Amino acid sequence: MTAPSPLSSSSKPAATPTPSPAPAKPPRRQGAPALYGALPLILLFFTLIVTPLVLTFSLSFAEFDYNTGIQPGYTLANYWTVFTDSYFIEIFWRTLWMSAVTTVLCVVIGAPQAYILNRMRAPWRSIVLLIVLSPLLISLVVRAFGWSLLLGPHGPIGAVTQALGVGTLLYTPAGVILGLVHVMLPFMVIPVWTSLQKLDPAVEHAAYSLSASPWQTLTRVVLPQTMPGILSGSLIVFGLTASSFAVPALLGGRRLKMVATVVYDEFMNELNWPLGATIAILLLVANVIVMMGYNRIVERSYRRSLG
């Protein structure tokens, strides 16, 4: 799994640091002693997250020579390269617009799907929900491979596109986007589904009784209440897509690079670790900003009305 899952969107802790309070909140005991139990895990986290990230951050300032490797000394050359070299700018731009398109598609497909699911009755409801969400637990490689089969010359979609004279969608942005939408869809369905669960069904009836048409009810009553879910899902999908590796690598081929695959290149092929580290740090910062964005923007504007 590449990253945040359902956690960010459920009512339980995830991207937001504080856990939501238990229904009947038991008084918490004072106790630094409790920390002792958590010590091993804390140590592990500091060793494997904080330290390596700090090291990577400092690595991004290292000098690199293609012949001799990493040099001592500090420089901003890597950052300069990343921000000015057209090769990288093109990749950032491509990542950005592909992530945006993927996000929009996920909204357009995922939000209505969550709404339709909400209106189903048992047992179909749980069954279809599980079908739509279960790919989350299946390895990315398998899913990406499946798409390469579908899109390739021998696959059903490939056959159609070839008949249309377009060639196969494999190794094209469209193909990568298809794969990305497939992977990201659950991350949109879950938060929208969650916000729909909080709706009082009688509210839709109230709208009808006041002479609203089904369309008016949808746009004026249901949609505004699910906006927090849609926004939350969009931010998660955008963040995950921008840092996604497996799907672009397997469906994009050598020529269609995105940020994650470029980092892989720099580290594994070019061996220019400092440059790779620079891009990685920038990706991390961007990701954190996007994920934090939800807390600030959405929660604030909806806190008064929807809580």
Task: Map the footprint of another protein across residues 222-281, applying CB under 8 A.
Answer: 224-225, 243, 245-246, 249-250, 260, 263-264, 267-268, 273, 276-277, 280-281
Task: CB nearer to another protein: give 34 or 89.
Answer: 34
Please give the size of the binding site for another protein, defined by CB under 8 A. Answer: 132
Considering only residues 14, 96, 107, 271, which one is a binding residue for another protein as defined by CB under 8 A? Answer: 14
Both tokens of residue 43?
């140590």
Classify residue 156 as exposed, middle or buried by CB count within 10 Å of its CB (0-12, 13-18, 19+): exposed
132-191 binders of another protein (CB under 8 A): 132-150, 152, 154-156, 182, 185-186, 190
The minimum distance between CB 179 and another protein, in angstroms, equals 8
> Is 285 in contact with 53 (CB distance < 8 Å)?
no
Nearest to 186 by CA among 128, 265, 147, 273: 128
x/- mask, another protein, residues 205-224, rule CB under 8 A, reads xxxxxxxxxx-x---xx--x
The minimum distance between CB 97 and another protein, in angstroms, equals 19
Both tokens of residue 126?
């749980």
Considering only residues 76, 89, 120, 297, which one is a binding residue for another protein as defined by CB under 8 A? Answer: 120
- Give the up-direction half-sphere exposure of residue 42: CA atoms within 13 A in the CB hemisphere: 6
Considering only residues 49, 160, 166, 297, which one is a binding residue for another protein as defined by CB under 8 A? Answer: 49
Asked if the bond preceding 6 is cis, omega within 30° of 0, the reply is no
User: Would you count residue 81 as binding another protein (CB under 8 A)?
Assistant: no
What is the three-class DSSP state of 153? Answer: coil
Task: CB nearer to another protein: give 100 or 159.
Answer: 159
Which letter does DSSP use for residue 135 in this model? G
Considering only residues 89, 160, 166, 288, which one is a binding residue for another protein as defined by CB under 8 A? Answer: 288
The minimum distance between CB 280 and another protein, in angstroms, equals 5
Cβ-proximal residues to 249 (8 Å cutoff; 6+ apart), any chain: 144, 260, 261, 264
Distance (Å, rounded) from C-alpha 134 to C-alpha 82? 38
Task: CB nearer to another protein: give 19 or 167.
Answer: 19
Both tokens of residue 4?
């945040």
Task: CB nearer to another protein: give 94 or 182.
Answer: 182
